[in-house]
Structure 1
C-alpha cells in the first residue's frame, strides 16, 4: 500500500534529444519520489520494437546518468523507458500507471528561491497542498499562495481560503515564515497569475478539466509554462472513469533501479 505522505512526480525527459533537467529543479524535487519517463518520439511509420532495438542501449546509458544525479540529491527514483508515436498520450498513461500526483513541465531554472501556488477554490486542494509542501520545505525557498477573485466582495473569502492552505502547509512541515498570501481582484485570472508568477521561479498548479478553449488555445498549465518561462508542476486532478484506450507506443520498460 502506498505511503500517504509520499509525493510522486512524473518527470518526462526526451532522453536522446539532449534535454537537461536544471540542477536547482533536481534539488527541489529531492523530497519526492521521482518517476523518470525517458521517452524518444519516433515517426509514425517506425515500429517501437525497431526503435528500441536501435536506440535502447544509448537511451539506457543517458537514463542511468540522470538517475544517479537525482539519487545523489536525495530523491527516490523510479524509471520508465518508452519509444512512442504520441508523447502526450504516453505521458498521461504513465502518470496514471505510476500513480503520480504531479507532472513536471520543465523550463530553465538557474535559481529557485520563490514558488507560487495558485489556489482555485477547493479544487483538488489536498493534493496541491501536499505537492507544494514536498517542494517547499527547503529553508531557502519562499512559498506564495495566490488566489484571484472577481470583485472586492470576494476578497475576504479568498483570504480565508489561503489561510486554511497556509495552516495545512505548516502542519506538513513548511515554515510559516516562508509562506505569503496574495489575493488579487482580476477579471482575467490567468493573466493575473502570469503577472504574479513573473518574479517566481516555479509554479505549482492544479490540472483543469479539458475544455474546448483548452483544445483551441492550449491548456492553462502549458500557457503558464510558455509565458512565464518557468518550470510548472501540474498537480493531476482525479481521473474520470474512462474505457481503456490503445496507446501509441510499445511495451514500457523499467530502467535502472
Structure 2
C-alpha cells in the first residue's frame, strides 16, 4: 500500500526530545520527513554553525529518525542551520511536499483525538488524515466546531458531514463524537478542549508563509498546549 500522507516532524537542535513511541505507531502508513533546525546566534552565519556543529547535529538527527525507520516508515532527514525556525519549517514543508506537520508534545497514549473543524476548506484532507490515525490505533475521535457569525454552513451540518465521511472510510460510528461551541475565543476553546485529549488535529487557515502552515488559531494552540498537534496543510491553496 502506498503512503497516504507525508508528515513533517521538526525538531529544534540540540537536545531535542524524541517523538513518543505511541505517536510513531500512528504514522505507520505514512512517509515522514525529520527536520532538524539548529538555532544559531544572530551574529553566527549558517556556514560557520555547520562547520562547528554539523557532525554532532547529524548524529542527533539520525537518532531522532531511528524510531520511524524501525517502524518501517519511509523516512527522509533534513538538517538546517539558521535563525528563522518558522520560515525553515514553512520552506521545507513545501520543498518536501509535506501535507501534515507534527508539533511534537508529550503523549503516553493515543486514546482520544480532538479535531477542531473551522469550515469546509481542507475538510477532505483533514478527514482523510484522521481516518488514517484511527486506522492505526484504537482511539476515539471528537469532532469540534466553534460557531461563528461568519460561518457559511451550520456547524451541526459540518460535523455531521465529517462524521459521515469517517464512517464511509470504515471508522465505526461509536468511535466518533462531536461537539458544538459558541465561545467567541476560538483558540482558547480549542486549548481547553485539548486538555481532555491526547492529540489534536488542526487544519491550516491562512494562505501565506507562517500563517499558510499554521494560521493564527493553530499557531496559538500549538504554542499554548503540551499536547502533540498535527496541522493538516491546505496544499491545494498553497503557492510555493
TM score, norm. by length of structure 1: 0.80
Contact 2:13–2:39 (8 Å) recurs in 1: no
**Paired residue secondary structure (2:34):** strand
Q: CA-to-partner distance for each residue in 1:31-53, whole Å, 9 max, x for gaps?
A: 32111001211123222222222
**Paired residue secondary structure (1:135):** helix
In the TM superposition, what are the counterparts of 1:120-139 in structure 2 within 5 Å? 120-139=118-137
Contact 2:204–2:231 (8 Å) recurs in 1: yes
**Paired residue secondary structure (2:141):** strand
Q: Residue 226 of structure 1 corresponds to which residue in structure 2? A: 223
Check 1:84–1:147 CA distance in 2 against 1; reply closer, same or farther (3 A cut). same
Cα offset for 1:210? 7.0
Cα offset for 1:93? 0.2
Q: Residue 117 of structure 1 corresponds to which residue in structure 2? A: 115
Root mean square deviation, CA, Å: 2.5
Residues 1:160 and 2:154 are matched in the alignment: no
In the TM superposition, what are the counterparts of 1:46-61 in structure 2 within 5 Å? 46-61=44-59
Check 1:187–1:76 CA distance in 2 against 1; reply closer, same or farther (3 A cut). same
Counterpart-to-counterpart distance in 2, 1:51 and 1:193:
38
Q: CA-to-partner distance for each residue in 1:151-193, whole Å, 9 max, x for gaps?
A: 8xx9x93222222212222333433331112222333333322
Q: Residue 16 of structure 1 corresponds to which residue in structure 2? A: 14
Q: CA-to-partner distance for each residue in 1:95-118, whole Å, 9 max, x for gaps?
A: 011111111112211222111011
Q: Give the unaligned 5+ runs of structure 1.
A: 243-257
Counterpart-to-counterpart distance in 1, 2:11 and 2:156:
38
Cα offset for 1:125? 0.9
Check 1:188–1:48 CA distance in 2 against 1; reply closer, same or farther (3 A cut). closer
Cα offset for 1:6? 2.0
Q: Give the unaligned 5+ runs of structure 2.
A: none
Check 1:72–1:173 CA distance in 2 against 1; reply closer, same or farther (3 A cut). farther
**Paired residue secondary structure (2:158):** helix
The alignment of Structure 1 onto Structure 2 pairs a total of residues equal to 231
Contact 1:31–1:135 (8 Å) recurs in 2: no
Residues 1:177 and 2:167 are matched in the alignment: no
Q: Residue 190 of structure 1 corresponds to which residue in structure 2? A: 187
Counterpart-to-counterpart distance in 1, 2:40 and 2:137:
42
**Paired residue secondary structure (2:154):** helix
Counterpart-to-counterpart distance in 2, 1:18 and 1:119:
30
Contact 1:8–1:102 (8 Å) recurs in 2: yes
Q: Residue 70 of structure 1 corresponds to which residue in structure 2? A: 68
> Whose relative contact order is higher, 1 or 2, with alpha carbons under 8 Å and at least 6 apart?
1
Contact 1:25–1:112 (8 Å) recurs in 2: yes
Q: CA-to-partner distance for each residue in 1:174-222, whole Å, 9 max, x for gaps?
A: 33331112222333333322222221111101112279xx8xxx93223
Contact 1:22–1:109 (8 Å) recurs in 2: yes
Check 1:208–1:57 CA distance in 2 against 1; reply closer, same or farther (3 A cut). same
Q: CA-to-partner distance for each residue in 1:115-140, whole Å, 9 max, x for gaps?
A: 10111120111121122122222342
